[in-house]
Chain A
């Protein structure tokens, strides 16, 4: 158990819908990262927040958005869902903003299925 929690574990929805994925980082960690893992692709970095502010952006679609709240939990919002958005969405956390020596700890993931 990494100490990172994600809800829900599974989500089934229809095309065109909107969903929200939630992540609580490890106690004391200020950085939160979101990654997408599709069947035929590796983990793709989406976005990083540090202490409530956006720090880095990866291949995140405009239909997707995220935020980090004062209590440090984060939410990833996916809208106008398409079949291709079906994937595992992982949240990770680390204590720091930019020190790569600090490893990231991954949550159990949310499996999203868009029908």
Chain B
């Protein structure tokens, strides 16, 4: 089976940096995605990692360690609009690229 773990909730202050961790145990691995989802809305793509290391994209960065089954999403210079759920998802199935999602981390940014 597939197991993807994230913290349920986090709170951080506007302007600060927050790191959201994700650990996974899957039967295969074709890449790890991070999505942002505002309440009641569709998930939107943030980042993709398939090789070990850090991928930086503006205020958001994502890190992957395949040997540890670990990833994190780093959000810098937090803004109020960053309050949302952040979903870690793994593409784990050979011959398909459906995603297995964690339950998501609800981030609340406070002034």
Contacts and interface: CB of A to CB of B under 8 A. Distances in A.
A105 B45 contact: yes
Interface in A97-115: 97-109, 111
Q: Which of B35, B40, B99, B100 has the most CB of A within 10 A?
A: B99
A47 to B, nearest CB: 8
Contact of A90 (B42, B45, B95): B42
Interface string A54-89: 011010000000000000000000000000000010
A44 interface: yes
B97 A102 contact: yes
Interface in B20-50: 30-31, 33, 35, 40-45, 48, 50
A101 B87 contact: no
Given A101-B48, A103-B48, A105-B45, A45 B102 contact: no
Nearest to B89: A43
Contacts of B72: none
Task: Assign chain A's interface to a size class.
Answer: 20 to 34
A44 B103 CA distance: 9
Contact of A101 (B31, B40, B89): B31
Contacts of B42: 2, 4, 90, 106-109
Contacts of B50: 100-101
A58 B97 CA distance: 12
Interface of A: 2, 4, 31, 33, 35, 41-45, 48, 55-56, 58, 88, 90, 94, 96-109, 111
Interface of B: 4, 30-31, 33, 35, 40-45, 48, 50, 87, 89, 91, 93, 95-104
